[in-house]
Amino acid sequence: MKKNIIAMIMSCVVFGAAAQKAEVVKLDKLQQIMETKSDKIRVINFWATWCAPCIKELPLFEKLHAERSDVKVTLVSMDLDLDPNPEKVYKFLDRKKLQSEVLLLNEQNANSWIGKIDKSWSGALPATIVINPKTGQRKFIERQLHEGDLEKLIAEVQ
Amino acid sequence: MKLIKPILLMLCFAALTAGRTAAPNYGVGDTVADFKLKNVDGKMVSLSDYKSGKGVIVIFDCNTCPYSKAYNDRIIALNKKYAAQGFPVITINANDPSDSEGDSFDEMVALAKRKKYDFPYLVDETQNVARAFGATNTPHVFVLKNEGGAFTVAYIGAIDDNARDASSASKKYVEDAVDALLSNKAVPAAKTRAIGCGIKWKNA
């Protein structure tokens, strides 16, 4: 019995540490993140809970977040574009226990801002930007990434 | 000197293959090559079948994408409104069904039946048509204008500016484009972008 209680408390602690309430942001906050000077390479991924290829590539970003202290990963959920209720995303984050920073972008009229993220972005998900804040070098890629792709993109801006 | 020829040949080959892999895609004003694809009723449909009309609203769409679902009734409404005015809708599904089960031909037939499609829902099995157009996501619209039997691109992009709710859309891009073409005016916004599901390419 005692063991069970300890196990329950332990799992609560682990769960509490793992769950995150992702911040809902507007475009200006995202642009600020993209422009901020830093020693860390910025990796920004645009995804959504409904996007199967996005979910498939999420572990690559989590691995990068865990293994590379010289890289800052931000996962930008686009779920609010279609569904204004963020609960589905929060539940997903609790279930998957994502450790990378997650933001929920709350902007309508996508045509007015997609080009500000990257001129070549059609708006299709998934999409990823790798930025070297020191040099301003950027790489944008609009497809599902596979093992090794992120490391290659990072090397290209270094 | 003997080496120059093979090197030149290699360079030519590299240039050719590079040209093939680079996505050729249509811009506004470009003439579209004819295509012929299988419809959900089993019959083949060509763009050239539409030569007697004023144009065509080509929409790259699919069964599974939540944006396609959100816009499904709006696509049906577009055909209802514009087919009689000479701009019928053609929908094309290019998703690789091995990567997206719900986009199999059988599922396409079922969706077209369930939603009583009165326009083609074509399967682009080789994905060659989607590649030629430069379609990237679903739903992705190309409004084509018939200029004496040659179809030229008049509009590329989204259906409107509100995926959540049709009644809240402040800009109806496709309607505005077709209305402009019908009254011989310039299309107000010839190219727009929207968030959407990337087309499920083979070997992506």
Q: What is the pLDDT of residues A58-109, one digit of tens each?
A: 999 999 999 999 999 999 999 999 999 999 999 999 999 999 999 999 998 9
User: Which residues in A lie closer than 8 A to residue B163 (C-beta atoms)?
Assistant: 81-82, 110
Q: Is residue B18 part of a domain?
A: no
Q: A2 in a domain, yes or no? A: no
Tell me the residue range of the domain where A85 lies. 20-157
Q: Is residue A68 part of a domain?
A: yes
The one-letter code for the residue type at B60 is: F
Distance CA B119, CA B75 (A): 10
Q: Do B195 and A50 touch (CB under 8 A)?
A: no
Task: Tell me what percent of the residues of chain B surpass a pLDDT of 70.
Answer: 88
Nearest chain B residue to A116, by CA: B193
Torsion of the alpha carbons at A114, A119, A120 and A125, rounded to the nearest 10: -20
- Residue window 64-93, chain B: list those with CB within 8 Å of chain A: 66-67, 70
Q: A8 lies in a domain?
A: no
Residue B7 has pLDDT above 70, yes or no: no
| pLDDT of B18 over the 90 cut | no
Q: Would B15 be classed as within a structural domain?
A: no
CA distance A16 to chain B (A): 31
In a domain, A11, yes or no: no
Q: What does the pLDDT read at residue B25? A: 87
Query: Measured in Å, how far apart are chain A's first and last C-alpha atoms?
Result: 55
- Please identify among residues 91-110 of chain B the ones whose CB lies closer than 8 Å to any CB of chain A: 100
CATH of the domain at B192: 3.40.30.10
Are A22 and A104 spatial neighbours (Cβ–Cβ below 8 Å)?
A: yes
Model confidence at B36: pLDDT above 80: yes
Number of domain units in chain A: 1
User: Is A56 domain-assigned?
Assistant: yes
Q: Using one digit for the tens of pLDDT, what is the confidence trace for B166-184? A: 999 999 999 999 999 999 9
Distance from CA of B18 to the nearest CA of A (A): 18
Contact yes or no for B192 and A111 at CB 8 A: yes
Give ipTM to 2 decimals.
0.83
Q: CATH number, domain at A51?
A: 3.40.30.10
Q: Domain range for residue B30?
A: 25-198
Residue in B with minimal Cα distance to A144: B204
Selecting from A81, A108, A111 the residue whose C-beta is nearest the C-beta of B193 gives A111
Summarize pLDDT for A119-155 with one digit per residue, the tens.
999 999 999 999 999 999 999 999 999 999 999 999 9
Residue B37 CA from chain centroid, whole number: 12
Q: Are B190 and B156 in contact (CB under 8 A)?
A: yes
Strands in chain A per DSSP E: 23-25, 41-47, 71-77, 101-105, 124-125, 127-131, 138-141
| Spatial separation of the C-alpha atoms in residues B178 and B173, rounded to whole Å | 9
pLDDT band at residue B114 under the 50/70/90 scheme: very high
Instruction: Name the domain count of chain B.
Output: 1
Reference A156, options A138, A135, A129; nearest CA is: A138
Determine phi and psi for A92, rounding to 5 degrees. -60, -45
